[in-house]
């Protein structure tokens, strides 16, 4: 495996709320290597997006980073000042969000925000910045970039808006691009185009991609490795083929069983029983044990650690397999 | 459209009134031989108890009304928008402090607060402008703070932050411009209200003082002759009604024009 780019170690983020402490992230462990596409999957509320925001140092208040380290290009981001983080965001590390429509400021032309990015990270003059932006949009396969950059966001389609967002994120040629549900709000056909575009970024720019999604189909298509999250921690992490062929964690198995398979005769889909536990009062021990078909005495008492059960395949379960 | 016409006419008259008015010297000059004349060809709106041409004085009065409306709005908007953006963007104690202050100001009826301040400062045009500004800014502070609060949570603010924008940049180029269209609409509606309030202050004697041809004062003076010579109070009153109505129409029209989504649909 190539060089390590991002390493998240034992990350804990908690929110204080009127109803009590919300344990949003409980020991996330994750590694992203250079030139790698890492998938991060899980249900709504399992902490995928929070992990991304924590990496960028943008945990929204009243959330607080309780414990853990985030090593990016060998430096611990949790110890950086706000100004130092600003110099990294959008420069070495970028993010694109789910809703491209609302990620562009409606009062400006589409070029305004990308040009700002170049202004504060590269100190470029407006004409140089514009040239660079048009150049990049061309490389990203955008037809008629001249017209697009002058359009207002509401005049662009969702796919175009997301392409502008991607261009904006890629302007400074970051080492890591986080795509937080970047294709979830788009039509399937546009989704396919954007995914293709994201895939091409790696070969063209050498960017590592952290792809956050709840769509296992996307993971299978695009990712090299995948991490499965449940209730604020990573429960299984391995290369894509291994996870799909030999899932070790009962939660991952449940997720995979709940996908309809078009070639198989129609039958009732299996589901993961129960529902996601409250993160104010999470279950003791393994947080999956109330829903787990394999749960035994040990599971309610002790939280399992991530350990390697197959070569390169790590899982947090007392009874994997 | 009608609102726009009235507004343009009002501003136009304010600029050229000394040349437009048939008797510009009637601003202060008294003609005892022409007292209380009814409307005629020589004096379209009649004359008042000191023989001054009411039509000329109404025209001259537009300038005073416009002058105070512009100054009051400039002061209230700069103060209100600044405090509102600061409160909405920073939150926490800053927000608490500013908003409780606006609550205190908003707890008093605006006209009464303006009257009190104007009375304390002493009755003249400048002080009535100061008084109105002091009682008016909380409206804008509230409006902008509400906008800023919701804008702060917008995805494009998070997107800009996640790509390295600093706090100052976020406030100035993402939050502020998006706050402005409600401010402009509010301001265009408020022009009428400010004109009315300054007339009210003049009427009760704590604003502009005679012999300044201010509409409120003219009504106040005409009150004594209302039964026999109604034109003295009626025409300045009519001027206020038309102007305020015009600015309200204009404000409504502006609201429709300023929303870019609406505009592109109309095209």
Minimal Cβ distance to A94: which of B163, B166, B174:
B163
Quote the pLDDT of residue B263: 52
pLDDT at position A267 over 80: no
CB contact under 8 Å between B174 and A58, yes or no, is no
What 3-state DSSP class applies to B109?
coil
pLDDT at position B257 over 80: no
Quote the pLDDT of residue B130: 93
What 3-state DSSP class applies to A320?
coil
Residue found by looking up tokens 């032309």 in the block: A109
Residue A123 sits at the chain B interface (C-beta within 8 Å):
no
Test mutation, A51, A57, A87, A103, chain B, max B CBs within 10 A: A103
∠ CA A8-A14-A19, rounded to 5°? 160
Please, what is the angle between helix B54-90 and helix B215-222, to 10°?
Answer: 130
Query: pLDDT-based confidence at B259, cuts 50/70/90?
Result: low
- Tally A–B CB contacts below 8 A: 73
Q: What are phi and psi of A107, to 5 degrees?
A: -90, -5
Of A241, A244, A214, A238, the closest CA to residue A306 belongs to A238
Distance CA A151, CA B235 (A): 51
CB contact under 8 Å between A120 and B260, yes or no, is no
Mean pLDDT of B24-43: 81
Mean pLDDT of A180-194: 85
Quote the pLDDT of residue A242: 92
Quote the pLDDT of residue B267: 43
CB contact under 8 Å between B162 and A165, yes or no, is no
Minimal Cβ distance to B161: which of A58, A99, A107:
A58
What the block records as the tokens of A295 is 């749960």
Shortest distance, CA B134 to any CA of chain A (angstroms): 31
pLDDT at position A135 over 70: yes
Residue found by looking up tokens 């129960």 in the block: A274
**Which of A192-206, A263-277, A303-317 is the least confident region?**
A263-277
Mean pLDDT of A242-261: 88
Mean pLDDT of A124-148: 88
CB within 8 A of A130, min separation 6: which ones?
A111, A115, A149
Q: Is the previous residue joined to B211 through a cis bond, with omega within 30 degrees of 0? A: yes
Residues from chain B that touch A56, judged by Cβ atoms under 8 A, are: 162
Quote the pLDDT of residue B238: 93
**Which of A34-38, A218-222, B7-11 is the least confident region?**
B7-11
Report pLDDT digits (tens) over A48-103: 889 999 999 888 888 889 889 999 998 899 888 888 998 899 889 999 988 888 88
Mean pLDDT score of chain B, rounded to an integer?
Answer: 86
Mean pLDDT of B29-44: 82
Report pLDDT digits (tens) over B170-216: 888 888 988 888 898 888 888 888 999 999 999 998 888 888 888 99
ipTM: 0.80
Mean pLDDT of B2-23: 82
Q: Are β-strands A225-230 and A233-239 bridged in parallel, bridged antiparallel, or unpaired? A: antiparallel
Quote the pLDDT of residue B140: 93
Quick one: closest CA in A to B156, which residue?
A103
Query: pLDDT-based confidence at B266, cuts 50/70/90?
Result: very low
What 3-state DSSP class applies to B37?
coil
Distance CA A159, CA A100 (A): 8
Q: Is the previous residue joined to A232 through a cis bond, with omega within 30 degrees of 0? A: no
Test mutation, A50, A57, A107, A117, chain B, max B CBs within 10 A: A107
**Which of A194-203, B27-36, B96-105 is the least confident region?**
B27-36
Inter-residue contact B223 to B233 (CB < 8 Å): yes
Give the N- to C-terminal CA distance of chain A in Å, as an integer.
Answer: 25
∠ CA B72-B75-B80, rounded to 5°? 115
CB contact under 8 Å between A107 and B178, yes or no, is yes
Quote the pLDDT of residue B84: 92
Higher pLDDT, A297 or B121: B121
Residue B169 sits at the chain A interface (C-beta within 8 Å):
yes
Which percentage of chain B shows pLDDT scores above 90?
31
Quote the pLDDT of residue B262: 53
Inter-residue contact B171 to B161 (CB < 8 Å): no
pLDDT at position A228 over 90: yes
Higher pLDDT, B28 or A167: A167
For chain A, list the strands marked E by DSSP: 4-17, 20-33, 37-41, 63-72, 75-76, 93-96, 176-180, 208-213, 225-230, 233-239, 307-310, 313-315
∠ CA B69-B210-B33, rounded to 5°? 130
pLDDT at position B167 over 60: yes
Report pLDDT digits (tens) over A273-321: 788 888 888 888 888 988 888 888 888 888 888 888 888 899 999 988 7
Query: pLDDT-based confidence at A238, cuts 50/70/90?
Result: very high
CB contact under 8 Å between B156 and A102, yes or no, is yes
Mean pLDDT score of chain A, rounded to an integer?
Answer: 88
Q: Which residues 59-118 of A are in CB contact (within 8 Å) with B? A: 86-91, 94-95, 97, 99, 102-108, 113, 116-117
Query: pLDDT-based confidence at B35, cuts 50/70/90?
Result: confident
Residue B159 sits at the chain A interface (C-beta within 8 Å):
yes
Residues from chain A that touch B177, judged by Cβ atoms under 8 A, are: 105, 107-108
CB contact under 8 Å between A90 and B162, yes or no, is yes
Give the N- to C-terminal CA distance of chain B in Å, as an integer.
Answer: 17
CB contact under 8 Å between B162 and A106, yes or no, is no
Quote the pLDDT of residue A125: 87
Count of all residues that appear for chain A in the document: 321
């Amino acid at each position: 495996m190539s060089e390590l780019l991002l390493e998240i170690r034992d990350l804990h983020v908690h929110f204080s709320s009127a109803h009590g402490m919300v344990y949003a992230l409980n020991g996330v462990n994750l590694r992203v290597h250079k030139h790698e596409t890492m998938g991060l999957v899980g249900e709504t509320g399992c902490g995928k997006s929070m992990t991304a925001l924590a990496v960028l140092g943008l945990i929204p208040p009243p959330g607080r980073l309780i414990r853990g380290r985030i090593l990016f290009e060998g430096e611990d981001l949790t110890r950086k000042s706000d100004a130092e983080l600003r110099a990294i965001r959008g420069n070495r590390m970028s993010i694109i969000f789910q809703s491209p429509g609302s990620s562009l400021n409606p009062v400006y032309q589409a070029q305004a925000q990308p040009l700002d990015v170049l202004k504060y990270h590269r100190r470029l003059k407006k004409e140089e910045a514009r040239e660079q932006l048009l150049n990049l949009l061309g490389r990203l396969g955008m037809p008629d970039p001249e017209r697009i950059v002058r359009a207002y966001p509401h005049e662009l389609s969702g796919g175009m808006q997301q392409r502008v967002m991607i261009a904006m994120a890629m302007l400074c040629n970051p080492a890591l691009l986080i795509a937080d549900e970047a294709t979830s709000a788009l039509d399937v056909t546009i989704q396919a185009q954007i995914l293709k575009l994201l895939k091409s970024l790696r070969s063209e720019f050498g960017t590592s991609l952290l792809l956050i999604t709840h769509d296992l189909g996307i993971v299978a298509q695009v990712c090299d490795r995948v991490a499965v999250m449940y209730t604020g921690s990573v429960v299984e992490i391995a290369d894509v083929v291994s996870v799909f062929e030999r899932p070790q964690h009962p939660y991952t198995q449940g997720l995979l069983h709940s996908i309809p398979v078009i070639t198989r005769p129609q039958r009732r889909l299996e589901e993961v029983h129960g529902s996601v536990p409250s993160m104010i009062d999470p279950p003791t021990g393994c947080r999956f044990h109330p829903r787990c078909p394999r749960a035994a005495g040990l599971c309610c008492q002790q939280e399992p650690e991530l350990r390697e059960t197959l070569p390169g395949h790590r899982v947090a379960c007392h009874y994997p397999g | 459209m009608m609102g726009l016409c009235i507004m343009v006419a009002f501003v136009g008259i304010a600029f050229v009134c000394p040349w437009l008015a048939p008797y510009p010297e009637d601003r202060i000059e008294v003609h005892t031989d022409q007292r209380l004349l009814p409307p005629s060809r020589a004096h379209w709106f009649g004359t008042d108890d000191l023989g001054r041409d009411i039509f000329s004085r109404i025209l001259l009065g537009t300038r005073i009304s416009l002058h105070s409306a512009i100054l009051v709005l400039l002061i209230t908007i700069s103060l209100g928008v600044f405090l509102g953006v600061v409160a909405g963007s920073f939150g926490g104690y800053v927000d608490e402090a500013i908003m409780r202050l606006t609550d205190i100001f908003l707890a008093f009826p605006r006209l009464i607060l303006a009257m009190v301040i104007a009375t304390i400062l002493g009755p003249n045009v400048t002080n009535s402008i100061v008084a109105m500004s002091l009682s008016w800014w909380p409206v804008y502070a509230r409006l902008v703070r509400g906008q800023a609060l919701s804008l702060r949570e917008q995805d494009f603010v998070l997107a800009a932050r996640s790509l390295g924008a600093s706090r100052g940049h976020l406030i100035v180029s993402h939050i502020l411009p998006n706050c402005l269209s409600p401010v402009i609409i509010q301001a265009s509606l408020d022009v009428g209200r400010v004109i009315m309030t300054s007339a009210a202050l003049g009427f009760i004697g704590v604003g502009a003082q005679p012999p300044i041809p201010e509409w409120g004062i003219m009504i106040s003076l005409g009150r004594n002759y209302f039964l026999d010579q109604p034109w003295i109070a009626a025409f300045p009153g009519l001027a206020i009604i038309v102007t305020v109505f015009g600015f309200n129409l204009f404000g409504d029209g502006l609201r429709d024009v300023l929303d870019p989504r609406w505009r592109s649909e109309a095209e």
